[in-house]
């Protein structure tokens, strides 16, 4: 093998191809119950996965054994989403078994690529936030930091997107249908979780008045464990996802009443809690089931950590010496009153004691700036589902507001502004405020975002507690998104600077001199060309999509949101098209380009769905128009997911990061593209700011208003109509859409997009249009100079080391967690 094999537990012989073959055939016969000759690809995939799982589980047990003796402080990452992507390739990489497994499969007459393609990725997240959680647990394992990731085992992950007549249609994601070989179910460790009911006060044995919760119903939380292996270091951390089932007690009571059908319904009711991932990633609807999900996983996780990890002997006054709970956005914030309830109601702490502990055990990461994306729970809903928690929140709020009164005497406006409980339009709990009050630290996810968080979203809080606020810029794992997804580039890099970069990405700096090396640049281009060819194969097989040959690959992949401005990208394309068909632009002078989109719209987000329809309509019209001569090709493969990202990103030349400045908290796709040698066309938003600072202006296509300029234009009053009136090309593009040209002559189909753009344009696409078109012209010029472009691309890779999620984890450890690596 060309790669070292992870340290095995003492006494284990090193793996060999023969041994691997034996183990694989054993799994096939004993687990799948089939012979190699009669086995299906799914049997073969499951047996291969099982073989890798066996190898990892030995290390997993070792890791836990060590932890039980050393008792280090660990991280509990609380996240409602983990967008893991396929596991097999990653686990082969982490164990160093890739080459052995490939050879072993070959000896069995199998192609490992076919087996790997059989895996359905666990899509247990919406987008950036869920993928970030997956990158973070990968990095922590690789950096030898003890961590448990806690979350939800949704039976259906993010929906599978299909297009019917260019419109999005959602299908359920049945990721478990063919069996998931990576999970370890532990029904014997089920935890009962209560809901509803009332609270009552009583006098305890010491004559102290106390409160208790008399719940009305409950469910069981069943833990499913997943292994999170570090890269070639023998550590295997745990991801523990909870699945809801009906409790026996619940069933029995109803069975005893003789109503069998009702009892079965009760079961369904319980199982509903983890049935499906909510596909909204902004403007959360205050859905009761969503709150049930949040409390369910958080209550399971706290109980699990306190009772099973720490055990009954542990003195909970010292809780912060053993754990920090990192809140991935506000989704798990109900953990704060839950910990208070455990300490006060169940463990007999007095309030102040409990609050002192709680405040040290939580830290909060915010991932948004959009006001409508801030989670708020109506008081009546919270009171119905979690009456005791609501009461605890009220008390936290009272004491907090007393503190504000003391700091700002007489400032009643401020007190009303800062209250955790909003009074208008309806009484509701502001989860971000609760998280900020309870958290020992609050962080944004890129420098600009953290600044805006302090200044615009939580200004009163940052005045009160300036030292609470910090930044940790996001990162992505170089194992999955470079080493695994781009084997060609990885090998080229390693041939130049060795393999150390995989766990120390700043070493990519050593590539800088190679940007000046014509031979290296040529090899670099060959890698891109091969990645493009592989992408073409995938798109043909997957969707029957044929891209243009020898075209620039321009990619915009991310959730569909108006603030991300897929419409601005469309206006660029439609402008080029309109200029060509009206004879003002000779297609022979246009740089041939493939424009690839990938985007899911939340099912209830109508404008987003219309934009998807428009992208598809423009695509089929432009692709079929002979006047274009094939220089513009638009592709919108459905169901963009982690698996497709791993194919698209390594092939890309140009990365589109074009959100309105001040709207994208960070972006993480932007980092993956840079790492794979795409150049960015982008606004000064989110982590683009840091990307540009690192690669330099000459290696980045900046356009558009800055955040302060956006704020200024907003303040003086924005009128998109003036841009429409005064810019001929812009007007031409918008009018072409409005004319029905892309909708069989029907002006109504995209009428609301056009009207919205010209009259409202909340995210100011028209204001940035001219600047974007300019930047695209600079892109064309730059791309024409192949050697210069490659030089820039190499420098982009060389300067991407900062965006490793290993660095993000170091920053969290230093600035927030105080957890030393446990070597
Ligand atoms: C909340 C309540 C109810 C239903 C759904 C939700 C919900 C679910 C998911 C709200 C938000 C999300 C996801 C947000 C998200 O992905 N944000 C992105 O996080 C990335 C990682 O920090 C950033 O890079 C992106 O800029 C940010 O948009």
Domain 480-803 CATH assignment equals 3.40.50.2000: yes
List Cβ neighbours of 402 (8 Å cut-off, separation of 6 or more): none
- Mean predicted confidence (pLDDT) in 671-680: 99
| pLDDT of res. 7 | 53
CA–CA gap between residue 242 and residue 48 (Å, rounded)? 26
Ligand 1 close to Cβ of residue 375 (< 6 A): yes
Give me ligand 1 centre to Cα 82, in Å.
Answer: 12
Give me ligand 1 centre to Cα 531, in Å.
Answer: 30
CA–CA gap between residue 391 and residue 686 (Å, rounded)? 37
Cross-strand pairs, 655: 555, 680
Q: Which atom of ligand 1 is nearest to the CA of 125?
A: 9
How many other CB atoms are there within 10 angstroms of residue 178's CB atom? 15
CA-angle at 762, arms to 638 and 369, nearest 5°: 80
Instruction: Please state whether 197 falls in left (phi above 0), alpha (psi between -120 and 50) or beta.
Output: left
- At which residue do the structure tokens 């983990």 appear? 82
Q: Which atom of ligand 1 is nearest to the CA of 131?
A: 21
What share of the chain in percent tops pLDDT 70?
97
**Parallel, antiparallel, or unpaired for β 191-195 and 679-682?**
unpaired
| pLDDT of res. 2 | 37
Structure tokens at 438: 């309870």
> If you count them, how many residues does the chain have?
823
Q: Give yes or no: 564 in active site.
A: yes
Give me ligand 1 centre to Cα 424, in Å.
Answer: 25
| 772 Cα distance to chain centroid | 27
List pLDDT tens digits, range 634-675: 999 999 999 999 999 999 999 999 999 999 999 999 999 999
Q: Please state, in angstroms and as integers, the Cα–Cα distance from residue 403 to each residue in 395, 400, 464, 465, following that order.
A: 13, 5, 10, 11
CA–CA gap between residue 82 and residue 153 (Å, rounded)? 9
CA-angle at 690, arms to 687 and 691, nearest 5°: 85
- Indicate whether 58 pLDDT > 80: yes
Q: Give yes or no: 569 in active site.
A: no
Give me ligand 1 centre to Cα 294, in Å.
Answer: 15
| pLDDT of res. 6 | 54
Which among 83, 330, 367, 683 is the best mutation to test ligand 1's pocket, defined by most ligand atoms within 8 Å of the CB? 367
Is residue 261 very low, low, confident or very high in pLDDT (cuts 50, 70, 90)? confident
CA–CA gap between residue 713 and residue 190 (Å, rounded)? 55
List pLDDT tens digits, range 736-752: 999 999 999 999 999 99
Ligand 1 close to Cβ of residue 664 (< 6 A): yes
Helix/strand/coil (H, E, C) string of 182-211?
A: CEEECHHHCEEEEECCEEEEEECCCCCEEE
Q: Give yes or no: 405 in active site.
A: no
Q: Which CATH architecture has domain 71-86+121-474+810-817?
A: 3-Layer(aba) Sandwich (3.40)
Q: Give yes or no: 473 in active site.
A: no
- Mean predicted confidence (pLDDT) in 707-733: 98
Q: For 284, how many CA atoms within 13 A lie in the half-sphere containing its CB?
A: 22
List pLDDT tens digits, range 552-580: 999 999 999 999 999 999 999 999 999 99
CA–CA gap between residue 276 and residue 173 (Å, rounded)? 9
Sheet holding 679-682, edge to edge: 632-635, 593-598, 552-557, 654-657, 679-682, 701-702
List Cβ neighbours of 379 (8 Å cut-off, separation of 6 or more): 390, 421, 426, 427, 428, 429
- Mean predicted confidence (pLDDT) in 773-798: 98
Q: Which atom of ligand 1 is nearest to the CA of 665?
A: 26
Give the residue range(s) of CATH 3.40.50.2000 domains in the chain: 71-86+121-474+810-817, 480-803
Q: Measure CA of the first residue to CA of the last residue in the chain; give whole Å.
A: 27
Give me ligand 1 centre to Cα 329, in Å.
Answer: 8
CA–CA gap between residue 468 and residue 432 (Å, rounded)? 14
Q: ipTM score here? A: 0.98
Which among 78, 158, 282 is the best mutation to test ligand 1's pocket, defined by most ligand atoms within 8 Å of the CB? 282
Atom 12, ligand 1: residue with shortest CA distance = 281
CA–CA gap between residue 13 and residue 358 (Å, rounded)? 46
List Cβ neighbours of 442 (8 Å cut-off, separation of 6 or more): 363, 364, 365, 366, 435, 436, 453, 458, 461, 468, 469, 470
Structure tokens at 215: 């719940």
Residue 28 DSSP one-character state: I
Ligand 1 close to Cβ of residue 284 (< 6 A): yes
| pLDDT of res. 655 | 99
List Cβ neighbours of 761 (8 Å cut-off, separation of 6 or more): 718, 720, 767
List Cβ neighbours of 696 (8 Å cut-off, separation of 6 or more): 795, 799
Q: Give yes or no: 389 in active site.
A: no
Are 232 and 8 in contact by the 8 Å Cβ rule? The answer is no
Are 590 and 576 in contact by the 8 Å Cβ rule? The answer is yes
Structure tokens at 19: 């041994």
| pLDDT of res. 248 | 72
> Among residues 153, 160, 240, 367, which one is catalytic?
367
| pLDDT of res. 696 | 98
CA–CA gap between residue 769 and residue 574 (Å, rounded)? 12
What share of the chain in percent tops pLDDT 90?
93
List pLDDT tens digits, range 276-306: 999 999 877 779 999 999 999 999 999 999 9
CA-angle at 467, arms to 461 and 468, nearest 5°: 55
Report pTM. 0.97
Which is nearest to 370 in space by CA: 683, 755, 713, 763?
763
Q: Give yes or no: 668 in active site.
A: yes
**Summary mean pLDDT of the chain:** 96
Is residue 249 very low, low, confident or very high in pLDDT (cuts 50, 70, 90)? low
List pLDDT tens digits, range 470-514: 999 999 999 999 999 999 999 999 999 999 999 999 999 999 999
Cis peptide before 242 (omega within 30 of 0): no
> Among residues 153, 613, 672, 692, which one is catalytic?
672
Structure tokens at 697: 């202006």
- Indicate whether 213 pLDDT > 70: yes
Ligand 1 close to Cβ of residue 685 (< 6 A): no
List Cβ neighbours of 181 (8 Å cut-off, separation of 6 or more): 45, 46, 49, 50, 53
> Helix, strand, or coil here: 247?
coil
List Cβ neighbours of 188 (8 Å cut-off, separation of 6 or more): none
Q: Which atom of ligand 1 is nearest to the CA of 280?
A: 5
Cross-strand pairs, 662: none
603-606 contacts, C-beta under 8 A, 24 or more apart: 603/159, 603/168, 603/170, 603/279, 604/280, 604/285, 605/280, 605/283, 605/560
């Amino acid at each position: 093998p060309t790669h070292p094999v992870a340290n095995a537990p003492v006494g284990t012989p090193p793996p060999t191809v023969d041994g691997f073959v034996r183990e694989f055939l054993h799994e096939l016969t004993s687990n799948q119950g089939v012979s190699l000759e009669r086995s299906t690809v799914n049997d073969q995939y499951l047996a291969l996965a099982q073989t890798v799982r066996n190898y990892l589980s030995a290390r997993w047990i070792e890791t836990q054994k060590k932890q039980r003796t050393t008792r280090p402080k660990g991280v509990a990452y609380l996240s409602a989403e983990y967008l893991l992507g396929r596991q097999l390739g990653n686990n082969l990489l982490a164990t160093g078994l890739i080459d052995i497994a490939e050879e072993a499969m070959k000896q069995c007459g199998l192609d490992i690529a076919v087996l790997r393609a059989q895996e359905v990725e666990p899509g247990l997240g919406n987008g950036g936030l869920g993928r970030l959680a997956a990158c973070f647990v990968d990095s922590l394992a690789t950096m030898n930091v003890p961590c448990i990731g806690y979350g939800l085992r949704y039976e259906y992950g993010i929906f599978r997107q299909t297009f019917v007549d260019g419109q999005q249609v959602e299908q359920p994601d049945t990721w478990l249908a063919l069996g998931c070989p990576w999970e370890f179910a532990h029904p014997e460790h089920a935890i009962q979780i209560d809901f509803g009911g009332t609270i009552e006060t009583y006098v305890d044995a010491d004559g102290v008045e106390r409160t208790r919760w008399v719940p009305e119903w409950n469910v069981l939380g069943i833990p499913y464990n997943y292994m999170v292996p570090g890269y070639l270091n023998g550590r295997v951390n745990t991801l523990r996802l909870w699945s809801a089932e009906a409790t026996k007690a619940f069933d029995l009571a109803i069975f005893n009443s003789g109503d069998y059908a009702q009892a079965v319904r009760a079961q369904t009711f319980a199982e509903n809690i983890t049935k499906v991932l909510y596909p909204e990633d902004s403007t959360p609807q205050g859905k009761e089931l969503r709150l049930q999900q949040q409390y369910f996983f958080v209550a399971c996780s706290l109980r699990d950590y306190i009772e099973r990890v720490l055990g009954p002997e542990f003195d909970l006054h010292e809780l912060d010496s053993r754990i920090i709970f990192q809140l991935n956005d506000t989704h798990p914030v109900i953990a704060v009153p839950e910990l208070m309830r455990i300490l006060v109601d169940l463990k007999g702490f007095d309030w102040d004691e409990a609050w002192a502990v709680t405040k040290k055990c939580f830290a909060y990461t915010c991932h948004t700036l959009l006001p409508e994306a801030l989670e708020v729970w109506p008081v009546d809903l919270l009171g119905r589902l979690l009456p005791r928690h609501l009461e605890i929140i009220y008390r936290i709020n009272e004491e907090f507001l007393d503190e504000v009164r003391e700091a700002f005497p007489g400032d009643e406006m401020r007190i009303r502004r800062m209250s955790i409980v909003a009074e208008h339009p309806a009484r509701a709990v502001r989860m971000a405020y609760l998280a900020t009050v309870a958290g020992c630290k609050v962080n944004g996810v890129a420098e600009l975002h953290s600044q805006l968080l302090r200044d615009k979203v939580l200004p009163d809080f940052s005045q009160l507690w300036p030292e609470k606020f910090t930044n940790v810029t996001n990162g992505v794992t170089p194992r999955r998104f470079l080493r695994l997804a781009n084997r060609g580039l990885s090998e080229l890099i390693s041939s130049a600077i060795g393999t150390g970069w995989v766990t120390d990405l700043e070493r990519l700096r050593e590539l800088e001199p190679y940007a000046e090396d014509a031979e290296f640049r040529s090899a670099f281009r060959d890698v891109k060309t091969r990645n493009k060819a592989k992408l073409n194969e995938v798109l043909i097989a997957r969707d029957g999509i044929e891209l243009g040959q020898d075209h620039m690959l321009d990619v915009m992949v991310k959730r569909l949101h108006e603030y991300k401005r897929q419409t601005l990208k469309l206006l660029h394309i439609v402008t080029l098209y309109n200029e060509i068909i009206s004879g003002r632009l000779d297609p022979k002078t246009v740089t041939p380009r493939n424009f690839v989109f990938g985007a899911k719209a939340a099912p209830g987000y109508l404008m987003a769905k219309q934009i998807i329809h428009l992208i598809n309509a423009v695509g089929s019209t432009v692709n079929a128009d002979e006047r274009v001569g094939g220089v513009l090709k638009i592709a919108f493969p459905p169901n963009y997911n982690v698996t497709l990202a791993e194919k698209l990103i390594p092939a890309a030349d140009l990365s589109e990061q074009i959100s309105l400045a001040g709207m994208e908290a960070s972006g993480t796709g932007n980092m993956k593209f840079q790492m794979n040698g795409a150049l960015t066309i982008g606004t000064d938003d989110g982590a683009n700011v840091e990307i540009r600072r690192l690669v330099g202006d000459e290696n980045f296509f900046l356009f558009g208003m800055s955040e302060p300029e956006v704020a200024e234009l907003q303040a003086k009053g924005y009128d998109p109509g003036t841009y429409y009136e005064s810019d001929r090309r812009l007007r031409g593009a918008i009018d072409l859409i409005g004319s029905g040209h892309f909708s069989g002559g029907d002006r109504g189909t995209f009428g609301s997009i056009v009207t919205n753009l010209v009259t409202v344009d909340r995210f100011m696409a028209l204001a940035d249009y001219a600047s974007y078109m300019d930047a695209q012209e600079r892109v064309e010029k730059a791309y024409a100079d192949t050697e210069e472009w490659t030089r820039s691309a190499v420098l982009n890779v060389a300067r991407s080391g900062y965006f490793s999620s290993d660095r993000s984890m170091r920053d969290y450890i230093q600035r927030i967690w105080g957890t030393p690596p446990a070597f």
